[in-house]
Amino acid sequence: MTDLLTMTGIVKEFPGVRALDGVDLDVRAGEVHCLLGQNGAGKSTLIRVLTGAHQPDAGTIRINGDEVLLNSPTAAIQRGIAAIYQELDLVPDLSVAENIFLGHEPARFGFSRRHEATVRAREILQGLGHGEIPVHRSVGSLPSAGQQVVSMARALSRDARLIVMDEPSAVLDPEEVANLFRVIRGLTTRGVAVVYISHRLEEIREIGDRVTVLKDGATVATGLDARETPTKELIRLMTGRSIEYIFPPRQEILSTAPVVLEVDDLTRPGEFAGIGFTVRAGEILGLAGLVGSGRSEVLETMYGARKAAAGSVKVNGVVLRPGRVQAAVKAGVGLAPEERKSQALLLDEAVFKNITVSSLQRFAGGGFLNARAELEAAAELAKALDVRPAGVDYPVRNLSGGNQQKVVLARWLLRDCRVLLLDEPTRGVDVGARSEIYALIRKLAANGVAIVLVSSEVEEVLGLADQVVVLREGRAVHIGPAQDIDEHQVLDLVMEGSAVS
Amino acid sequence: MSEELTQPQDQTTSTQATVTPPATTRSTRLLQGGFGRNVGLVVALVLLCLVGIITAGDTFATGANILTILRLAAVIGVVSIGMTFVITGGGIDLSVGAMVALASVWATTLATQQLAADYHWILMVSTALAVGAACGLVNGLLIAYGKVVPFIATLAMLAAARGLAEIISDRKTQIITVNSFVDFFGGSLIGVPVLVWIFLLVAAAGWVLLNRTTFGRRTFAVGGNAEAARLAGIRVQRHTVALYVLGGLCCGIAAVMLMARTTTGSSTHGGLYELDAIAAVVIGGTLLSGGRGTIVGTVIGVLIFTTLNNVFTLNNLSISAQSVAKGAIIVIAVLLQQRLAARATSQ
């Protein structure tokens, strides 16, 4: 059987990060090919290359043996490649039929042929086994499972020969997943190839034919049998690392160290429930879990950026008012959010303004800013954290990811914060700078700050944290010292249903 | 705690200093910054003045004419200062003209004038300011807490405020009979009209507020990235309300100035001020999407438009021709701005 798609030696670099470093992937017509890898392994980037959203810096893509250039999403669609993303790219206010034919509406002389669109939309939906979806309903009023079917119908309306599905089961309940699998099997019997991305191993066992494993932007194994390959082997392939990060040594947390942060029974319906833990001064607590497990939500709720439905957050024994960022900041809590650029930084402003934005009061007399004091304080911190380039009047936009993260940390250091919440502190930070950030985080803890760390990289959580909380679907499934658990066990806990001793 | 943080020990792993902004000389940085944009504006203004001198030199370059230009610029200038804050903070205010009208009408009702005649003209002034600020407060509350988009909230205020002004005045022009008011605001100080002084004062205060205070810094933060500002602990909603109140207050001041210039209060005052103010703010270099704003630019922007009007009028060209020229200037200015912004971010 010839391969429908062959990708060889795909390389994609972003400033400071080599997201893909020689990826190979071959997909056959009519198979479900599973793509496996930890967060940051390069799956999303690979899909963006495949669907024409990113151009690779090196490597070749062949479809049916012919080398092709996918230089735009349109080019990819014309080659029969379609993708269904986690955040569905549908227009909620248009009808089902309109969404299916968006961009290629049946038309004559510029007038859309609505009847034809309706009929053909119905045919396609029936072909997917979902003839019950009303084609005139607006897509926004459908449940997410229905929206996913519409997304697939759109792909088929373009005669897609290869459909990429990025964690399609994440938004579905078990019954809907069974339905999804039925649809996928229907597609493959027609010769359509499916590239299936999921973190849930038991799904891969059920629907997949072959597996390709990505790690650190490169293919580590390809063409594995989806049913026969042992779980242990898959996890080993995903985790065994070629790059060793240097984690600073842990420090003994004295039992006399005061408890700074107490989280008790924190709950937000639909996101997480009954989360509780305590963090002492100088201690680092790591939250591990998949995207959607509620880890970032827990952090943002502690910070007051989301309002807790139940439970409490105490800092130094004082209960924080729920849903109030101000209260948290005043109590000495700082947050380095997940989306650094959109949630933390004023990109076009100078470094020093980004550092002082949370502490302006300190430099103000009667509302007037003391520009020199502000500059000096920011410069001193930037120097202490070794923010490069030296000098605090460059726009933050021009800094590398690691240095931007240092600017965010400097912001909270300036406030002398006692609790620091770090959400994905090394996302977008290149490998060399990571050790530096790790050293910095450990140093902060040594200075008595209580730190809560969220990371999708299990190794990072285990290497840095003193205590580990593992979250799955909004529940804490494990709490304990970091030394007592290893990466495999955490991954087991995180990926439901795949028990490895 | 910061003192205890020393540089990381293992310099061998510090390989990330790859992104180094190009070393810019002081002069190029000045040109790329706010100063550079303002230089462009000043050049445009000077060119416009040259055209005026060449085409109507004997009347254009007289002290009296320059004072006329400044007097005309003063009212819309004050409105534009308020607008600069609102736009820098990520909003827009379409209701400024209507607020000017309502404030002018409310401050010149028979009752208010009677009180002012009995006690002091300050009552008329404070009425106008209070009306402006109150309208701004409604705008701000709707936008910050009601989550109505600024465009719609202030569009509603535009309609409602002007309608209310018509109801109060019964669509009649209200002549101001309080002579002390007219005498004070119509007068001059050291040869410069009081109206121009007010404009200068508001502009200076606006500059200090935007560039030298925590309020100004927070305005940039809120307009540049509201989510980041919120997570940094800034009270974004409260700040947004304050910005619209400030905008409304400026409209109240402008209403007083317009009352003095025309010696009337009228529901037709301030027609299309929203467009003139937005145009002046934008050609001045304030980013319509928020996060970047300049008072100096706004002032020059206002002067450019007023001078343009003056030159055209002196040459007996029609209002329609003025509008065409105005449109062209807006487009050219914004195109230039985008080029500069693109260059600044691509370094």
d(CA B115, CA B126): 12
Q: At what angle do helices A431-446 and A401-414 cross, to 10 degrees?
A: 10
Instruction: With CA atoms as reference, report the closest residue to B284 among B11, B38, B36.
Output: B38
What percent of chain A shows pLDDT beyond 90?
33
How close does chain B come to A466, measured CA to CA in Å?
21
pLDDT at A494 over 90: no
Q: Residue A75 — pLDDT band, cuts 50, 70, 90?
A: confident
Q: Residue B288 — pLDDT band, cuts 50, 70, 90?
A: confident
Residue of A246, A303, A345 with shortest CB distance to B228: A345
Average pLDDT over residues A73-96: 83
Q: Residue B46: inside a domain, yes or no?
A: no
Q: What are phi and psi of A98, to 5 degrees?
A: -65, -35
How close does chain A come to B287, measured CA to CA in Å?
12
Q: Residue A108 — pLDDT band, cuts 50, 70, 90?
A: confident
Residue of B1, B18, B218 with shortest CB distance to A400: B18
Q: Residue B96: inside a domain, yes or no?
A: yes
Residue of B16, B21, B347 with shortest CB distance to A430: B16
Other beta carbons within 10 Å of A62 = 15
pLDDT at B236 over 90: yes
Residues of A in Cβ contact (< 8 Å) with B10:
246, 435, 439
pLDDT at A149 over 90: no
A472's CB contacts (< 8 A; 6+ apart) are: A289, A290, A293, A493, A494, A496
Read off the tokens for A272.
């997480």
Q: Residue B81: inside a domain, yes or no?
A: yes
Give one DSSP letter per residue of A375-444, joined into a string. HHHHHHHHHHTT-SSS-S-SBGGGS-HHHHHHHHHHHHHHTT-SEEEEESTTTT--HHHHHHHHHHHHHH
What letter represents residue B147's amino acid?
K
Q: Residue B53: inside a domain, yes or no?
A: no
Q: Residue B308: inside a domain, yes or no?
A: yes
pLDDT at A433 over 60: yes
Residues of A in Cβ contact (< 8 Å) with B217:
353, 357, 360, 369
Average pLDDT over residues A418-441: 84
Closest residue of A to B208, CA-based? A368
pLDDT at A18 over 80: no
Other beta carbons within 10 Å of A389 = 17
Q: What is the pLDDT of residue B317?
A: 85
Residues A443-461: pLDDT tens digits?
Answer: 889 889 999 999 888 888 9
Residues of A in Cβ contact (< 8 Å) with B17:
388-389, 400
pLDDT, greater one: B174 or B346: B174
pLDDT at B281 over 50: yes
* Region at B158 (left for phi over 0; alpha for psi -120 to 50; beta for the rest): alpha
Residues A174-232: pLDDT tens digits?
Answer: 777 888 898 899 889 989 999 998 877 778 888 999 999 988 888 888 888 888 888 77
Q: Global pTM?
A: 0.77
Closest residue of B to A306, CA-based? B231
Average pLDDT over residues B65-72: 91
How many domains are there within chain B? 1
Q: Residue B75 — pLDDT band, cuts 50, 70, 90?
A: very high
Q: What is the pLDDT of residue A493?
A: 84
Average pLDDT over residues B256-272: 94
Other beta carbons within 10 Å of B23 = 7
Q: Residue B108: inside a domain, yes or no?
A: yes
pLDDT at A68 over 50: yes
d(CA B245, CA B137): 5
What percent of chain B shows pLDDT beyond 70?
87
Q: What is the pLDDT of residue A239?
A: 73
Q: Residue B29 — pLDDT band, cuts 50, 70, 90?
A: very low
Q: A18: number of CA atoms within 13 Å, CB side?
A: 14
Average pLDDT over residues A5-24: 85
Q: What are phi and psi of B254, to 5 degrees?
A: -60, -35
pLDDT, mean over chain A: 86
Average pLDDT over residues B215-225: 93
Average pLDDT over residues A293-319: 92
First to last CA, chain A: 39
Domain enclosing residue B248, as ranges: 62-346
What CATH number does the domain containing B282 carry? 1.10.3470
Residue of A342, A346, A400 with shortest CB distance to B19: A400
Average pLDDT over residues B181-193: 90
Q: Residue B3 — pLDDT band, cuts 50, 70, 90?
A: very low
CB distance A6 to A29 below 8 Å: no
Q: Which residues of B touch A (CB under 8 A)?
A: 1-10, 13-21, 208, 212-215, 217-218, 220-221, 224-225, 227-235, 291-292, 344-345, 347
Per residue, the 3-state secondary structure of chain B, as one string, reads: CHHHCCCCCCHHHCCCCCCCCCCCCHHHHHHHCHHHHHHHHHHHHHHHHHHHHHHHHHHHCCHHHHHHHHHHHHHHHHHHHHHHHHHHCCCCCCCHHHHHHHHHHHCCCHHHHHHHHHCCCHHHHHHHHHHHHHHHHHHHHHHHCCCCCHHHHHHHHHHHHHHHHHHHHCCCCEECCCHHHHHHHHCEECCEEHHHHHHHHHHHHHHHHHHHEHHHHHHHHHHHCHHHHHHCCCCHHHHHHHHHHHHHHHHHHHHHHHHHHHCEECCCCCCCHHHHHHHHHHHCCCCCCCCCCCHHHHHHHHHHHHHHHHHHHHCCCCHHHHHHHHHHHHHHHHHHHHHHHHHHHHC
What is chain A's length?
A: 501
Q: What is the pLDDT of residue B141?
A: 97
In b/e form, how buried is each residue of B303-332, taking b as 16+ CB within 10 angstroms? bbbbbbbbbbebeeeeeeebeebbeebbee
Average pLDDT over residues B73-82: 96
Weakest mean pLDDT among A70-79, A492-501, B263-272: A492-501
Q: Residue A240 — pLDDT band, cuts 50, 70, 90?
A: low
| CB-based contact A346 B221, cutoff 8 Å | yes
d(CA A290, CA A268): 18
Q: Residue A279 — pLDDT band, cuts 50, 70, 90?
A: very high
How close does chain B come to A275, measured CA to CA in Å?
22
How close does chain A come to B212, measured CA to CA in Å?
6
| CB-based contact B230 A440, cutoff 8 Å | no
| CB-based contact A326 B225, cutoff 8 Å | no
Closest residue of A to B16, CA-based? A433
pLDDT at B246 over 70: yes
pLDDT at B241 over 70: yes
Residue at token pair 């002032």:
B299
Closest residue of B to A245, CA-based? B13
How close does chain A come to B251, measured CA to CA in Å?
24
pLDDT at B15 over 50: no
pLDDT at B19 over 50: no
Residues of B in Cβ contact (< 8 Å) with A416:
1
| CB-based contact B15 A358, cutoff 8 Å | no
Q: Residue B84: inside a domain, yes or no?
A: yes
How close does chain B come to A409, measured CA to CA in Å?
11
Q: What is the pLDDT of residue A28?
A: 92
Strand order in the sheet with A218-225: A81-84, A162-166, A193-197, A32-36, A210-215, A218-225
Read off the tokens for B118.
């009995």
Q: Which of A42-46, A126-130, A422-426 has the highest mean pLDDT?
A: A422-426
Residues of B in Cβ contact (< 8 Å) with A384:
2-3, 5-7
Q: Which of A175-184, A335-344, B165-174 has the highest mean pLDDT?
A: B165-174
Closest residue of B to A328, CA-based? B233
CB distance A11 to A22 below 8 Å: yes
CB distance A174 to A208 below 8 Å: no
How close does chain B come to A98, measured CA to CA in Å?
28
Instruction: With CA atoms as reference, report the closest residue to A88 among A141, A161, A157, A166.
Output: A166
A365 beta partners: A368
Q: What is the pLDDT of residue A141?
A: 87
Closest residue of A to B17, CA-based? A388
How close does chain B come to A13, measured CA to CA in Å?
14
The full set of domains in chain A, from first to last, is 3-239 (3.40.50.300), 259-332+417-494 (3.40.50.300)
d(CA A70, CA A49): 8
Residue at token pair 């947050």:
A335
Weakest mean pLDDT among A39-53, B153-167, B172-186, B221-235: A39-53
Q: Residue B320: inside a domain, yes or no?
A: yes
Q: What is the pLDDT of residue B31?
A: 43
Residue of B18, B20, B225 with shortest CB distance to A346: B225
